[in-house]
Structure 1
Amino acid sequence: MSLENLTRNYHEILENLGENPQREGLTGTPLRAAKAMQFLCHGYQQSLEEIVNGALFESDNDEMVIVKDIELYSLCEHHLLPFIGKAHVAYIPTGKVIGLSKVARIVDMFARRLQIQENLTRQIAEALQSVTNAKGVAVVIEAKHMCMMMRGVEKQNSSMHSSVMLGAFRDSVNTRQEFLQLIRN
């Protein structure tokens, strides 16, 4: 992701909108916007191995582990507008647990890419499953989408909920219900 190319592209966007990128309020905007886009999409520069960094620990725990209310910020791949929400992530360990912060970092790595919420939910679940070899993984994301709020249908109070259930969460109604009840509290 070349900062120089992104800056030049934002300069052209401003011109194509009928703005003067040289006017006082916009003189540094192309560079600032390019830096912001690099930050908002830094998940492309990360890998699952780098994020986890060996933070798997032996454990006899075979009960559900839940990390609730992980805030997330992403960009809709259709309009490049933000969607903002929270993820609830659970897994059932099989001899190893993952460092707590790593769950949030996995959410961020995938959220910091151009996304649709449905794919983001699946990517988080599959990544956690592949790293932990858990009996099951569950991910629920609740988010508000600026593409629904700022343009188009302009529905200010709408939110989207998506879920992916793998392994025991998919196979067992009781396990799935326990997870869903715990994230509601």
Structure 2
Amino acid sequence: MDPEHQPVPRPRAIPSHLINGHSPLHPSYTAEREREDREHTYESIKSSMGPPREPIDLANLSLNNHDRTERPNGSQQNSAQQYEEVEDADLDDLDLKVAARDDRDEAPLTPPATARSMSPFTANPTIDFDGLSWPSAGTLARLHERESPEDAQARLTKLSGAVRTILECIGEDPDREGLHGTPERYAKAMMFFTKGYEENLRDIVNNAVFHEDHDELVIVKDIEVFSLCEHHLVPFTGKMHIGYIPSRRVIGLSKLARIAEMFSRRLQVQERLTKQVALALLEVLKPQGVGVVMESSHLCMVMRGVQKTGATTTTSCMLGAMRKRAKTRDEFLTLLNRR
């Protein structure tokens, strides 16, 4: 047949470069592979409908391979591994499998070495059952005032006097009608703005950690965050997005927002706030990976200074698989619609 009159080959329904490696349309996706995927999904669902189990006590969160967890009936069960390697068969380039953005990312993925800076705020353990989560100097005294109304009132009186001094220094009359009672009201408001100092991660989680055979991303987006810039004591507000890949343990979804609230209700910088939330989840759940992204507007650069009202600050903290694998990190950011 004349080459000019040969029929034009029919185009494929889906171009090869658009086919996901796990798609049944992919040549490597065999019937055996499909059966295994179905069985895995079925077992995951079945395990979640098994006999009831008690919520995990944070005091017993030990995730070494050789550790064992006591059950109420006296039996023991092996704990989950702290980190499980997951094969990325779809990656064309082996270098992308351990996609490090920086040579420093090759450091051992243990909580003290992931991203924690050596500052007074993050050098302490995330969970301190005898006190608070990342306590600052003087914070324990404030916590103990819960049991001493006299000491708590003395603190409010001292803070109210300081506010009155501020009003006098800016040229106001603290005794005029409009400012009558303002020092006391501001003192109470400031104590509420910083109530995170009095909260403990253990009390926030409150045994809301459960066994679940799930190893895919869990994401809670658009958590509203209100905090105070520690440099100027003015607010910065925004939204936080939290995601993690479980390692047989999940946490109540509302607890993610409560953890963000606890750390934001302190004098903060956005970089540290993002890191603290990620490290707290890493220590509570020991997941395969954690990712936290925060976007906020800082009034210290909107109302003063450069006065750029449209400026938005974005920070992120990626730990475990989120930091080690570009594909996993990209999936997280894509689901956030931030790429």
TM class, shorter-length: over 0.9
Q: Distance in 2 between matches of 1:28 and 1:79?
A: 24
Q: Distance in 2 between matches of 1:153 and 1:171?
A: 37
Of the three residues 156, 168, 173, the one matched with 2:326 is 173
Q: Distance in 1 between matches of 2:164 and 2:281?
A: 40
- SS of the equivalent of 2:316 reads strand
- In structure 2, runs of 5+ residues without a counterpart are 1-141, 143-154
Runs of 4+ in 1 over 3 A off after TM superposition: none
2:161 aligns with 8
- In structure 1, runs of 5+ residues without a counterpart are none
1:143 aligns with 296
Q: Distance in 1 between matches of 2:185 and 2:224?
A: 24
Of the three residues 49, 59, 81, the one matched with 2:234 is 81
- SS of the equivalent of 1:5 reads helix
Question: What CA deviation, in whole Å up to 9, does each residue of 1:82-119 have, x standing for no partner?
Answer: 00000000011011100111000000000000000000
2:96 aligns with none
Of the three residues 273, 290, 307, the one matched with 1:154 is 307
User: Are 2:237 and 1:90 aligned?
Assistant: no
2:213 aligns with 60
Shift of 1:144: 0.2
* Residue type at the aligned position of 1:124: V
User: Are 2:264 and 1:111 aligned?
Assistant: yes
- SS of the equivalent of 1:147 reads coil
User: Are 2:181 and 1:28 aligned?
Assistant: yes
Report the TM-score when normalising by structure 2: 0.54
- SS of the equivalent of 1:157 reads coil
Shift of 1:6: 1.1
Bigger relative contact order, structure 1 or 2 (CA pairs below 8 A, ≥6 apart)? 1
Q: Distance in 2 between matches of 1:54 and 1:4?
A: 37
Shift of 1:16: 1.1
Q: Distance in 2 between matches of 1:67 and 1:59?
A: 17
Q: After superposing the two structures, state which structure 1 stretch, 2-11 or 41-50, moved more.
A: 2-11
2:198 aligns with 45
Larger % of strand: which? 1
RMSD: 0.8
1:18 aligns with 171
* Residue type at the aligned position of 1:78: H
* Residue type at the aligned position of 2:320: G
Larger % of helix: which? 1
Pick the structure with greater CA Rg. 2
Q: Distance in 2 between matches of 1:5 and 1:138?
A: 41
2:280 aligns with 127
* Residue type at the aligned position of 1:13: I
